């Protein structure tokens, strides 16, 4: 596992076209001969967080330039890629299972190239294990080697050998990689990569490298392009967006960045994730409160309500600081919607600690929570801590937490019945002209509407509430 070294300077290089673009043309030629169907087909499966989704969209951008089309099943694919996540054991197990299941497909279609990338591949012990266990996997590369994907793909297709690259140079930011976004209404915009926080349970800093911010002008350009292309809900991504800009020469802060994006004209919502409570300032809350486009939604992971556990987690804030931000946000942003991540069963957590988590949940009244049972990650400090509580006991606590949160969420939903909400119509639910829409606070509202309105903002009156979602009627005019 890597040592923690703080790198002060990061270099942005814009070498994609001259360097890797050439390999894409070569891959295009090869695939015209090698394809099984009319077009070369790729199946890309991304696990994990939006950062991985954003990487997957860049990989798809590169593959599109090489003539690939995409299918959502692997059966006809000439190229199969699993873009993996290492954050919890469950995520890793799914990848092992799904790659194992490709054995027959590869036997039937030996020319299909199977590849693995993403966060799991930056852990040497895992990447080695997969490379050995699955001899039919022809290409393995880590998150830091993504910009070299065209070259790696070319080598895999031409060398007759298996290709394996874990590249730990995380001091460069590679710009200019083409993007094929999955959606046309909601879009992801990475503003920084990596993480310096080293929360003791978390693998991300080891697999994503040191925190580095993209240059402001590049982000502004991408935001403008997305708005012009009709994106209505744009989420800025980073593991700790509040520390955006710390390595940049112009010293721009996150609050300044979002102010500048907010100034871009257009009809859109702006979101961001993830905010780390240790760096979340009143200035940021004020910026949200005064903005035109920033949604009234703050995703602010607290992880635990116990100061003792927060210290063990190396989170650098306590319960009081967390509640201070939350109360300030509630005060300044009317009807703010708060969401969070929480871990149950951190090593050494007692039932008393867990009760602190429950009481914090009750005090804040989150709209929704992403809830996780602690999963030990090899190489992290927490994996070496004593963990006396049984898995069965942790599951019991976990269910208790889910019950508490369900009651809070359903009360919050019920309190919205009778109100009018501005929503973005996102997708068809299925039959009966029901459209899934979303409020600024990130709550789903099902409403009957013509499909032509998908991608537009509308007002709905909320008529019914479930535990997590609302139902409403479109208001005319
Ligand atoms: N950078 C973000 C979170 C990224 S990981 C932040 O700091 O909030 C997403 C979530 O996964 C974390 O917030 C945490 O709740 C959870 N998580 C991370 N490592 C975990 C582990 N080892 N076991 C269980 N949950 C974990
Ligand atoms: Fe992991 Fe903590 Fe970094 Fe989030 S801030 S990615 S939880 S180390
Ligand atoms: Fe998983 Fe990597 Fe994201 S470990 S949560 S995909 S940064």
Residue range 345-393, pLDDT digits in tens: 999 999 999 999 999 999 999 999 999 999 999 999 999 999 999 999 9
Identify the nearest ligand to the CA of 314 by its number: 2
Query: d(Cα 94, Cα 433) in Å, to the nearest integer?
Result: 34
310 C-alpha vs ligand 3 centroid, how far in Å? 21
Of 2, 4, 205, 209, best ligand 2 pocket probe by most atoms within 8 Å of the beta carbon? 205
Which ligand 3 atom lies nearest to the CA of residue 84?
6
Q: Return the ligand number nearest the Cα of 302.
A: 1
Q: Quick one: 404 and 426 in the same domain?
A: no
CB of 325 shorter than 6 A to ligand 3: no
Domain end: 386, 415, 444, which one?
Answer: 415
Please identify, by atom number, the ligand 3 atom nearest to the C-alpha of residue 120: 4
Task: Find residue 428's DSSP bridge partners.
Answer: 435
467 pLDDT exceeds 90? no
Nearest CA to ligand 1 atom 5: 87
Cα of 242 vs centre of ligand 3, distance in Å, is: 18
Summarised one tens digit per residue, pLDDT across range 409-461 is 999 999 999 999 999 999 998 877 899 999 999 999 999 999 999 999 999 99
Buried b (16+ CB within 10 A) or exposed e, 393-424: ebeebbeebeebbeebbeebbeebeeeebebb
Same domain, 367 and 238: no
What integer is the mean pLDDT of 105-123? 95
CA angle (430 as vertex; 73, 473 as ends), nearest 5: 145
12 with 124, same domain? yes
pLDDT, residue 289, reads 95
DSSP state of 190: E
Q: How many Å apart are CA 420 and CA 411, to the nearest integer?
A: 17
What whole-number distance in Å separates Cα of residue 116 and Cα of residue 92? 12
Tell me, yes or no, whether 336 and 431 share the same domain.
Answer: no
Looking at the domain assignment, is residue 397 inside a domain?
yes
Going by pLDDT thresholds of 50, 70 and 90, the confidence category of residue 247 is confident
Query: Residue of the nearest CA to atom 5 in ligand 2?
Result: 197
Angle between helices 351-364 and 319-332 (to 10 degrees): 10
In the structure, what pLDDT confidence band is assigned to residue 4 with cuts at 50, 70 and 90? very low
Same domain, 145 and 16: yes
> Does 305 reside within a domain?
no
Q: Which of 277, 295, 313 is the last residue of a domain?
A: 295
- State pTM to two decimals: 0.94
CATH number of the domain to which 426 belongs: 2.40.50.140
Give the pocket of ligand 2 (CB within 6 Å): 195, 197-199, 202, 204-205, 239-240, 276
Range of the domain at 447: 420-474
On whether residue 306 sits in a domain, the answer given is no
Domain presence at residue 308:
no
Same domain, 447 and 401: no
Q: Which ligand is nearest to the CA of 211?
A: 2
Q: Are residues 207 and 249 in the same domain?
A: yes
Q: Report whether pLDDT(77) > 60.
A: yes
What is the domain count for the chain? 4
Domain C-terminal end among 243, 273, 295: 295
pLDDT at 446: 96
The mean of the pLDDT values for the chain is 93
In a domain, 301, yes or no: no
CA of 357 to the centre of ligand 2 (A): 19
The pLDDT-based confidence of 5 (bands split at 50, 70, 90) is very low
Q: Give the dihedral of Cα atoms 475, 230, 84, 398; nearest 10 deg.
A: -20
Query: Which of 50, 54, 87 best tests ligand 3's pocket when mutated (most atoms within 8 Å of CB)?
Result: 87
Q: Would you say 454 and 185 are in contact if contact means Cβ atoms under 8 Å apart?
A: yes
Q: What percentage of residues in the chain have a pLDDT greater than 70? A: 95
Q: What's the pLDDT score for residue 6?
A: 41
Same domain, 291 and 331: no
Segment 203-235, tens digit of pLDDT: 999 999 999 999 999 999 999 999 999 999 999
Q: Are 369 and 444 in the same domain?
A: no
Look at residue 357 in the predicted model and tell me its pLDDT. 98
Confidence of residue 174 (pLDDT cuts 50, 70, 90): confident
Q: Which residue has the higher pLDDT, 310 or 128?
A: 310
One domain for residues 230 and 336:
no
pLDDT of residue 7: 40
Pocket residues: Cβ below 6 A from ligand 1: 87-88, 201-202, 204, 239-240, 274, 276, 301, 303, 341, 343, 372, 374-375, 377
Residue 231 sits in the same domain as residue 267: yes
- Distance, CA of 422 to CA of 211 (rounded, Å): 36
90 shares its domain with 8: yes
Comparison of pLDDT for 5 and 217, the residue scoring more: 217
274-292 mean pLDDT: 94
Longest CA–CA separation in the chain, Å: 65
Ligand nearest to the CA of residue 205, numbered in listed order: 2
């Amino acid at each position: 596992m890597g040592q923690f070294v703080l790198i002060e300077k990061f270099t942005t290089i814009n070498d994609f076209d001259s360097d890797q673009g050439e390999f894409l043309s070569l891959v295009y030629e090869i695939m015209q001969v090698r394809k099984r169907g009319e077009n070369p087909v790729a199946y890309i499966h991304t696990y994990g967080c939006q950062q991985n989704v954003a990487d997957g969209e860049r990989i798809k951008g590169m593959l599109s330039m090489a003539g690939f089309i995409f299918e959502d099943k692997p059966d006809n694919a000439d190229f199969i890629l699993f873009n993996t996540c290492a954050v919890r054991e469950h995520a890793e197990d799914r990848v092992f299972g799904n790659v194992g299941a490709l054995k027959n497909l590869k036997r039937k279609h030996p020319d299909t190239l199977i590849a693995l990338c993403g966060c799991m591949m930056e852990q040497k012990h895992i990447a080695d294990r997969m490379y050995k266990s699955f001899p039919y996997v022809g290409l393995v590369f880590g998150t830091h080697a993504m910009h070299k994907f065209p070259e790696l793909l070319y080598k895999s297709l031409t060398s007759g050998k298996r290709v394996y690259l874990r590249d730990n140079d995380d001091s460069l930011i590679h710009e200019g990689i083409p993007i094929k976004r999955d959606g046309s209404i909601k879009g992801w915009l990475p503003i920084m990569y990596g993480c310096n926080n080293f929360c003791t349970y978390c693998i991300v800093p080891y697999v994503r490298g040191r925190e580095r911010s993209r240059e402001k002008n590049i982000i502004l350009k991408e935001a403008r392009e997305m708005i012009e292309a009709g994106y209505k809900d744009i989420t800025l991504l980073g593991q700790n967006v509040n520390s955006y800009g710390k390595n940049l020469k112009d010293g721009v802060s996150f609050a300044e960045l979002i102010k500048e994006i907010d100034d871009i004209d257009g009809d859109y919502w702006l979101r961001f994730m993830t905010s780390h409570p240790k760096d979340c300032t009143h200035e940021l809350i004020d910026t949200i409160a005064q903005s035109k486009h920033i949604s009234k939604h703050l995703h602010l992971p607290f992880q635990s309500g116990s100061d003792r556990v927060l210290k063990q987690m190396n989170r650098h804030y306590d319960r009081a600081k967390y509640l201070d931000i939350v109360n300030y946000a509630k005060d300044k942003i009317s009807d703010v919607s708060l969401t969070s991540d929480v871990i149950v069963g951190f090593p050494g957590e007692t039932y008393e600690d867990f009760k602190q988590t429950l009481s914090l949940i009750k005090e804040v009244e989150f709209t929704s929570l992403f809830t996780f049972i602690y999963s030990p990650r090899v190489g992290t400090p927490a994996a070496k801590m004593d963990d006396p509580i049984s898995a069965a006991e942790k599951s019991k606590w976990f269910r208790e937490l889910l019950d508490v949160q369900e009651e809070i969420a359903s009360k919050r939903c019920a309190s919205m019945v009778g109100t009018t909400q501005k929503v973005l119509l996102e997708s068809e639910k299925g039959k009966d002209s029901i459209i899934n829409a979303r409020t600024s606070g990130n709550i789903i509202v099902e409403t009957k509407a013509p499909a032509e309105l998908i991608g537009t903002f509308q007002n709905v009156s909320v008529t019914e509430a479930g535990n997590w979602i609302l139902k409403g009627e479109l208001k005319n005019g």
